[in-house]
Amino acid sequence: MSLRVPFVGIATAAVVVLLLLVSGLPASAKMEISEQDRHFLRQAHQGNLAEIAAGKTAQDKGESDTVRSIGAILVADHTKLDTSLKRTARRLGVSLPSEPSAEQKAEHERLASLSGSAFDRAWITAMIEGHRGALGLGRQELQTGSSPDVKGVAESSAPVIQGHLDRLLRAQGHLAGQTG
């Protein structure tokens, strides 16, 4: 009988731990993540929101087929990236902003006020800068972040963002060749 009591106690403790793990409690109750990880998730989310908005604007206002096409790609890809990021943030209990930063919104308004080839050139330049910044943010997370889940978001995003940057740089060269 004395062997049975400790076994029941151990089994009960194991069941409690298992229930806590699968109960849907925010992961923050299960595990702390660093401020760097939180910063990355918030900044990357705002970047995705800004890129989605910018892509929609390019689809509406772009003069060239290239800009409109890249705009559509940005909307699709950044929507997918953000879905994964939000899932990770929710699992880790990190609250995310509901809109792009004030600086990102101001840049969007500036771009939206342009038209024709001036819009196309300014939009591509702004997207190049944004994507370079996003790659830097991801590199910082990979170097100094502590959460494997958040680092995974940064790592899986990098090839998509690099692909956008490569496409934008080619488009910039193409547009420069047309006006040169």
pLDDT tens figures, 38-71 = 999 999 999 999 999 999 999 999 999 999 999 9
Confidence at residue 175, expressed as pLDDT on a 0 to 100 scale: 86
The CATH classification of domain 33-179, taken from the options 3.30.360.10, 3.60.20.10, 3.30.420.40, 1.20.1260.10: 1.20.1260.10
Confidence at residue 135, expressed as pLDDT on a 0 to 100 scale: 98
Question: Residue 179: pLDDT band by 50, 70, 90 thresholds?
Answer: low
Render pLDDT for 69-123 as a digit per residue (tens, 0 to 9): 999 999 999 999 999 999 999 999 999 999 999 999 999 999 999 999 999 999 9
14 vs 133, more confident: 133
Confidence at residue 176, expressed as pLDDT on a 0 to 100 scale: 83
CA torsion sign, 155 to 160 to 164 to 169?
Answer: positive
DSSP letter, residue 32: -
Render pLDDT for 130-171 as a digit per residue (tens, 0 to 9): 999 999 999 999 999 999 999 999 999 999 999 999 999 999
* Mean pLDDT for the chain overall: 87
CA torsion sign, 96 to 100 to 101 to 102?
Answer: negative
Tokens of 115: 């038209």
Cα 128 to Cα 172: distance, rounded to the nearest angstrom: 9
pLDDT of residue 12 exceeding 60, the answer is: no
Cα 36 to Cα 15: distance, rounded to the nearest angstrom: 33
Q: What is the pTM of this model?
A: 0.81
> Up-side HSE of residue 81: CA atoms within 13 Å toward CB?
31
Task: Spell out the residues 6+ positions from residue 23 whose beta carbon is closer than 8 angstroms to its own.
Answer: none
Sequence spans of domains, the chain: 1-30, 33-179
Question: Residue 17: pLDDT band by 50, 70, 90 thresholds?
Answer: very low
Strand, helix or coil at 145? coil
Cα 163 to Cα 166: distance, rounded to the nearest angstrom: 5
